[in-house]
Amino acid sequence: MRITKVETIRHPAFPRFTWLHMHTADGQVGLGEVGHFSTAAEAIMHDLAPRFLIGEDATRIDHLWTKIHDHLAIFTMGGSEMRALGAIDVALWDLAGKRHGVPIYELLGGASRDTIPVYNTCIGSDPIPDNRRFLEDAGSLATELIDEGFGCMKIWPFDGFASRSHGQLLSNGDLDAGLAPVRAIRDRVGDAIGIAIELHGFWNLPCALRIADALQPYRVQWIEEALSPESLGAQVAFAKACHTPVVSGERLVTRFAFRGLLEAGGATIVNPDLTWTGGLGELKRISTMAEAFRIPVKPHNEGGPVHHVAAMHVAANVPSLYLLEMVRHNTHHLFPQLVDELPPLVRVPGREGRAEARLALPAGPGLGISLSRRITDDPLATRRFTA
């Protein structure tokens, strides 16, 4: 299964994304994707292709990953380089699944569950403007999500106040205003839906602790990325002081960085991003390592449709899954424009007789999706090849 050509595809209507097609001598095509700073990652993929991919055996996934990783580590760690490696890794796993005629999760060790538990991250613009609604009408948004079967929603009501002081000072008024959407949800639906709070690492340690203390009466499900990952000591201090589960790790790169976080006790749930941390295989390795610490994994999943489905394969497999992030604006509106055979959101019997929203397992083989011909056959699409 020799790699013969690396192809990247971009479309002006979706400038955030670069898609990767990895071609082999037997006519198979593996699919990968970059969703942030993708023009830089595209250049890196083509730079890596002649040295590390063309002519190589696509079945040697770990060997190729290690060669590329070790080369990149000489110069840098993270950013567009790791996003490029993540896309390459996903394409290799897609090829492996197609070679064996099975979904990728079967190659990882099989399914640990029949459907994938999810929560909704409230981003997105029209026609599903959750990003605006959680600030303006959080109670009705919570009601709508409950009706759709979601058991948890993630919001970030404090972000708008961080820019006033670069996250160094949080006034009592701003703290109270940030709590308003949380209060609105609890006033409208009580405990019928979990609330997760995202802080995006915008705050210093004292402000993050004030927010965590103020949230305690509302029984939030977790606090995510309270602090920037550069300071492990501050993360550990926050995790030890916080009485709410602490999620961290989406900006860490590879298992080597996660080892330090886990050993130090800087998180009670880890949320590696499949593409940012180096790919599908690396997400699996991080999940397995975290399991040894009795720490569950909640993959960060705010990328494109290929990232989304690749994360689903890992989520289907790993026993230590907490929840998988999803964005209903993406799954309901954006992704169907970009790929075919997207695994659907299904309803299963849940607690208290309510139907629960979950993702169906990907059908495969490989990822089980393909880039839509609306993208590949559009003359506006641009393609670049390295052979």
Closest to 279 (Cα-Cα) out of 23, 31, 24, 74? 31
Q: What's the pLDDT score for residue 351?
A: 77
Residue 265's contacts (CB-CB under 8 Å, 6 or more residues apart) are 236, 239, 240
Q: pLDDT tens-digit profile of 123-148? A: 999 999 999 999 999 999 999 999 99
Q: Which of 23, 69, 300, 329 is catalytic?
A: 300
Whether 76 shows a pLDDT value over 80: the answer reads no
DSSP 8-state secondary structure symbol assigned to residue 103? B
Q: pLDDT tens-digit profile of 147-163? A: 999 999 999 999 999 99
**Residue ranges, CATH 3.20.20.120, the chain:** 106-360
DSSP 8-state secondary structure symbol assigned to residue 193? S
Whether 259 shows a pLDDT value over 80: the answer reads yes
Round to whole Å and give the CA distance between 72 and 255: 15
Mean pLDDT across 357-374:
97
Round to whole Å and give the CA distance between 27 and 3: 10
Q: What's the pLDDT score for residue 248?
A: 98
Q: pLDDT tens-digit profile of 36-53? A: 899 999 999 999 999 999
Q: What's the pLDDT score for residue 77?
A: 76
Pull the structure tokens for residue 292: 């040894």
Whether 256 shows a pLDDT value over 80: the answer reads yes
Full strand arrangement of the beta sheet holding 29-34: 29-34, 18-24, 3-10, 382-386
Whether 352 shows a pLDDT value over 80: the answer reads no
What integer best gives the mean pLDDT of the chain? 97
300 is catalytic: yes
DSSP 8-state secondary structure symbol assigned to residue 163? T
Q: pLDDT tens-digit profile of 171-207? A: 999 999 999 999 999 999 999 999 999 999 999 999 9
Find the Cα–Cα–Cα–Cα dihedral 60, 284, 271, 217, rounded to 10°: 170
Q: Are 290 and 259 in contact (CB under 8 A)?
A: no
Whether 326 shows a pLDDT value over 90: the answer reads yes
Topology annotation, domain 3-101+370-386 = Enolase-like; domain 1 (3.30.390)
308 is catalytic: no
Whether 364 shows a pLDDT value over 90: the answer reads no
Residue type, 170: L
Beta bridge partners of 20: 8, 32
Q: Which of 71, 100, 200, 332 is catalytic?
A: 200
pTM: 0.97
**Residue ranges, CATH 3.30.390.10, the chain:** 3-101+370-386
Round to whole Å and give the CA distance between 204 and 346: 40
Topology annotation, domain 106-360 = TIM Barrel (3.20.20)
Residue 86's contacts (CB-CB under 8 Å, 6 or more residues apart) are 32, 34, 274, 275, 276, 277, 278, 279, 280, 282
At 232 the three-state DSSP class reads helix
Percent of the chain scored above 90 by pLDDT?
Answer: 96
